[in-house]
Amino acid sequence: MTTLAARAPFAPTGPAAIDAAIAQQLLSAALASGGDYADLYFEYRASADFVYEEERVRNVGRGITLGLGVRVLKGDATGYAYTEELTQERMLATARTAGQIAAGGGAAPVAVPAQIAVADFYPVGLPTIDASPQGKLELLRRADRAARAYDARIVKVECSVSEELKEILVVTSDGRLARDTLPLVRFGVRAVAESAGKRQAGSSGGGGRYGMEYFDEVLHTPEAHGREAARIAITMLDAVDAPAGEMEVVLGPADSGILLHEAVGHGLEADFNRKETSNYSGQIGKRVASDLCTVIDDGTLPSSRGSINVDDEGFEPQKNTLIENGILVDYMHDRISARHFKRKPSGNGRRQSFRHAPLPRMTNTLLMPGQHTPEEIIRSVKRGVFAKRFSGGQVNISNGDFVFSLTEGYLIEDGKITAPLKGVNLIGNGPDVLTKVTMVGSDFELSDGMWTCGKDGQSVPVGVGTPTVKIAAITVGGTKAG
Amino acid sequence: MRDEVPELKALAESAVEQARKAGADAVEAIVQSGAELSVKVRMGEPEMVHEAGSRALGLRVFKDHRSAVTYTSDFTPAAFAAFVRESVALAQLSEPDELNELPADDELARGALPDLELWDDATLSVDAAEALRRAVRGERAALDYDKRVTNSEGASYDRTVGASAFATSGGFSGGYRGTYQSLVVEPVCDDEGGKKRNGYHFTAARFLAALEEPEHVGREAARKTVAKLGSRKIGTRDAMVVFDPDAGRAILRLLVSCVTGTAFYKKSSYLIGKEGAQVASPLVTVVDDPLLPRAPGSRPYDGDGLPSRKQAVVNAGILETVLCDVYSARKLGRKSTGSAGRGVGGAPGVTTSNLVMQTGKTPVAEVVKQTEAGLYVTDMMGFGFNAVTGDFSRGANGFWIENGELSYPVSEITISANLEAILCGIDLVGDDLDFRTSTACPTFRVAKMMIAGS
């Protein structure tokens, strides 16, 4: 990102500029107690949000966070400390605190940091946070009007824009220095419909690492999100009780990717496999999914919410194939797990902020398209569920059980989509469910950036994507037996 | 450790003063300061030592009935002065809302704040080395408990100390500080079919001396994990469901998400219009009590600066109180219940303090004993709850109960029902209750839920 004016105090032109010499001095202090490796993570984050409710701007908020996190590795142990005060004295003290993990031993040498060139996967001329606030308020009004105009039964609408601009500087004791500037915007609409004593809500949202041009796309306009939220709320007024038990389930394109994220994604993050606490431990080269499944994690997709120009340990993101035609090919690595498995890091070392140590994390996790049309897939189902929108998912890494919560779903009867279903939870076991993928559509879509992934108390933005997929049997947690 | 509260109060008061001078009609400032130590060991070796302190200030400024909420952690004088000016300017972007004003002066907490015994000097006596020793002891006890415990996600000891101050141009100024520490042990067992079984047990308290011994935590964690070996799916059916306190807490959190003033004015609760009506079994009484000494969620004043007070949310099954902060109360044409929470980064919003479901008369062991057949739920997964309709559907793990005993472990199933039916269907409430976390719940049984499995 060379087009943006840096505003972080630690930027080369900033009041507390960090250059290679200062970084080297801090890294030396961090390793003085005998650590093997150290890194510095400087972060400046400006964020803003606007909430529009009951036809007026209800909330405007802004915040700035700034800090330095210092990590020291000694064997498999991590020492971590951070400071919000970027004075020489505080930074040195923080480096020494992190270094205490290593009790004695000779200090590792600190290489002279050399800046690495990073790609630009999210070229943004003007980040939204610098765009006119009035323009953003107008987006909220447009979404509100569109949702209300959709149907007279819409009784409440709430719209929001959240945006941030993050600048990072990573410096490692083995000589890497990388800078990046990451824009992120998320737009959301929630509508409540009321009719004959029934009430239902619907939501639509999206965004990514875009500037204001995000809203120019037909599917991304405030009106599109407003109408979509209203459509779901109105549709759900007629929702019937969902069935209970194992049945065929067809997952719609894009957001259904959270199934992959939960069912296999987390289990392939190499920290769990290094510790042998994942049920995918020791499974490389083995069949873990039907041969229709090829799963990749790709941090390089243009402007996607989960994309990065450099990971939070100073490594370039990659397009990593995790599962190829059903065979487990690779895990996702950070520096610690890569060292354990004696391979190169895969560019998946990510962290929530300077207050957190990096972990192997997903970026954009995708299921590659197959041969079938979505119509063929629906037509093939005698009785089942079509899953379209979700509120989230969760997985137990150890045993592979995962759930995802459906907010918009429909019955499929005799090959046709029929009644909308009340919200329902689906549960399966990762390795088991993926072997039951019997049809994969040709209609791949990337999610419209709205997902945030939580792990070990750290949240990071991610992307997911998938075509229409049929699962031969998965448990649908409805209330209606039979 | 030096008491930071007076310094934080002075900082908050000074920020209020500066914002007034910069043109704000009214201002609130909140300052929070904290220090954390977090260590983790795995297979007997240190895995992580994390140590840091932080301080941040949040402002809410009002100008011509418009407001903005801002925060910063940069206290250098020039940057701070700019932050205050920008905050006042930012308020111009919002639109006037006559209900969005500071609380009336006579609503604010006045005089001495109650001493809730939230601070323990002993907390800081645990340094990184001692924290590691405690974690090692806990994990060791788990690994030694049973040879089927073959691996470990580790054991973590965490302690936080924090102080907070809040000042408003309406005349409130207060502050308090607190401590909290916890130890969690997470063993892993190998099961058939390459599956692993994980479990955990934790101890947590504001006072160091109230923690369980590390060895006890480790053994409990191991016992709970080993019990999951051979876990299986069961067939789809209706059945009685017993919630243990950990799982029950999650049900209680769902209830409370539907009894806030915010949910009511946003029409996002299935309980709208049900005040004074039966919304749960007569066995159910739920209170929110911010004044419990030494409890994790206690607070001497709320996020609007109002005095804390105990509220009966549900009394013998009757919905008594909708929890409100000042804004949602005004939207609903009523008075705040003193239930506002407040972080540095946001406006006040309704939060609970210590949310407690009162114990029942059934000895906890009897709850299972009196259940001929049913599901005993120990943990749940997923987000399957619609507050607008009350529809509930989540993944569950636990044990199948046969003839009044836990018979075998169960996983990969879901449990579903409408929350109203769950709460009204509670037919046994245990006499067990602990205050490790700010939501506390005894064991209880629901007469009927749908279980989806194979």
Closest CB to B90: pick one of A60, A83, A477: A60
Contact A399 B86 (CB under 8 A): no
Among B residues 139-178, those touching chain A with beta carbons less than 8 Å apart = 151, 153
Q: Which tokens sit at A459?
A: 């949240």
| Interface A-B: count of C-beta contacts within 8 A | 257
Question: Whole-angstrom Cα distance, residue A37 to residue B439?
Answer: 42
For the record, the structure tokens of B141 come out as 């006890």
Helix (H, G, I), strand (E, B) or coil at B234: coil
The two structure tokens encoding residue B332: 């609903």
Spell out which residues of chain B touch residue A79, defining contact as CB-CB under 8 Å: 48-50
- Sequence letter at residue A276: E
**A268: enclosing H helix or E strand:** none
Q: Is B379 helix (H, G, I), strand (E, B) or coil?
A: strand
CB B164 within 8 A of CB B175: yes
Q: Which residue has the tokens 């047990």?
A: B201
The percent of residues in chain B predicted with pLDDT above 90, rounded, is 90
pLDDT at residue B387, as a whole number: 95
Count CB atoms within 10 A of the CB of residue A245: 21
Interatomic CA distance for residues B61 and B92, integer angstroms: 10
Please report, for chain A, the start and end positions of each structural domain, with discontinuous segments joined by +: 20-236, 244-477
Residue B444 near chain A (CB below 8 Å): no
- If DSSP codes are grouped into helix, strand and coil, which group holds residue A220? helix
> Among residues A481, A461, A290, A468, which one has the least CA distance to residue A381?
A468
Contacts of A152 (CB under 8 A, 6+ apart): none
Supply the pLDDT for residue B444.
98
pLDDT band at A367 (very low <50, low <70, confident <90, very high): very high
Q: Is the dihedral of CA B411, B417, B423, B426 positive or negative?
A: negative
User: Is 50 exceeded by the pLDDT of residue A3?
Assistant: no
| Averaged confidence pLDDT in chain A | 93
For residue B314, the cross-strand partners are: B286, B319
pLDDT computed for residue A431 by the predictor? 84
Of B54, B188, B385, the CB nearest to A398: B188
Separation CA A410–CA B401 (nearest Å): 34
**How far apart are alpha carbons B313 and B296 in whole angstroms?**
19
Question: Which pairing describes strands A349-350 and A416-421: parallel, antiparallel, or unpaired?
Answer: unpaired
State residue A354's pLDDT score.
97
The pLDDT of A453-477, averaged and rounded, is 95
Q: DSSP labels for B93-126? A: TS---TT-SPPPGGGS--SSPP------GGGGG-
What distances in angstroms separate CA B54 from CA A51, A148, A434, one per listed residue? Answer: 28, 44, 44
Domain boundaries, chain B: 5-226, 237-249+359-452
Q: List, for residues B75-125, the tens digit of each pLDDT value.
A: 888 888 999 999 999 998 888 888 988 999 899 998 899 999 999 999 999
- Residues in B closer than 8 angstroms to A397, CB to CB, are 198
The closest alpha carbon to A359, from A465, A279, A430, A273, belongs to A273
Residues of A in contact with B127 (CB under 8 A): none
Note whether B33 contacts A: Cβ–Cβ < 8 A. no
Q: Of the candidates A64, A79, A391, which has its C-beta nearest B74's C-beta?
A: A64
Strand segments (E) across B13-132: 26-42, 45-63, 66-72
Backbone angles phi, psi at A72, to 5 degrees: -125, 130
Q: Are B86 and A62 in contact (CB under 8 A)?
A: yes
**Which residues, given as ranges, of chain B have pLDDT below 50?**
none
Task: Compare CB distances from B395 to A275, A398, A427 and report the shortest one's residue.
Answer: A427
Put simply, whether B225 touches A (Cβ < 8 Å) is no
Residues 6+ apart with CB under 8 A from A261: A362, A365, A393, A451, A453, A462, A464
Task: Tell how strand A176-195 and strand A114-115 pair up.
Answer: parallel
**Contact present, A429 and A267 (Cβ < 8 Å):** no
Q: How confident is the model at residue A423 (pLDDT cuts 50, 70, 90)?
A: confident
C-alpha span between B341 and A170 (Å, rounded): 36
Tokens of B77: 């004088």
Would you state the pLDDT for residue A108?
80
Q: Contact B447/B425 with Cβ under 8 angstroms?
A: yes
Predicted confidence at residue A2, as pLDDT, reads 33
Alpha-carbon torsion (A252, A257, A262, A265), positive or negative? positive
The structure tokens listed for B218 are 């480790």
Give the pLDDT confidence score for residue A106 in this predicted structure. Answer: 74
Q: Looking up tokens 């209900």, which residue turns up?
A: B99
- Cβ proximity of B379 and B231 under 8 Å: no
Q: How far apart are CA A60 and CA A138, in angstroms?
A: 14
With beta carbons less than 8 A apart as the criterion, state whether B386 and B256 touch.
Answer: no
Contact B360, B431 (CB under 8 A): yes
Look up residue B383 and give its amino acid. Answer: F
Contact list, B418 vs chain A (CB under 8 Å): 479
Q: Give tens-digit pLDDT for A271-324.
A: 888 888 888 888 999 999 999 999 999 999 999 999 999 999 999 999 999 999
Q: In this structure, what token pair is assigned to residue B312?
A: 């009966």
Smallest CA–CA distance, residue B245 to chain A, in Å, is 20
Distance between CA A94 and CA A83 in Å, rounded? 6
Task: List the Cα angle B141/B147/B148 in 5-degree steps.
Answer: 105
Q: How many residues does chain B have?
A: 454
More confident residue, A4 or B325: B325
Interchain contact, A79 vs B389, CB within 8 Å: no
Report residue A14 as tokens.
């900033």
DSSP string, B394-429: EEEEEEEEETTEEEEEEEEEEEEEEHHHHHHTEEEE
CA distance linking residue A70 with residue B452, whole number of Å: 48
- Burial of A226: CB neighbours in 10 Å, binned 0-12, 13-18, 19+: buried
CA B411 – CA A277 distance, rounded (Å): 18
Min Cα–Cα distance to chain B from A119, Å: 31
Do residues A158 and A243 touch, judged by C-beta distance below 8 A? no
CB B413 within 8 A of CB A475: yes
Q: Candidates 3.30.2290.10, 1.10.357.10, 3.40.50.300, 2.40.50.140; correct CATH number of B5-226?
A: 3.30.2290.10
Residue A482, pLDDT above cutoff 70: no
> Do the beta carbons of residue B357 and residue B440 sit within 8 Å?
yes
Superfamily of domain A20-236: PmbA/TldD superfamily (3.30.2290.10)
Residue indicated by tokens 């909430």: A51
Q: Report the residue of B200, B342, B412, B422 to disrupt the A interface, i.e. the one with the largest count of A CBs within 10 Å.
A: B412
Nearest to A183 by CA among A207, A167, A165: A165
CA neighbor of B335 nearest in space, from B302, B358, B357: B302
Q: Judge whether B174 and B97 are in contact, CB under 8 Å.
A: no
Out of A63, A395, A398, closest to residue B70 by CB: A63
Nearest one of B80, B58, B56, B66 to B23, comparing CA atoms: B66
What's the pLDDT score for residue A6?
Answer: 65
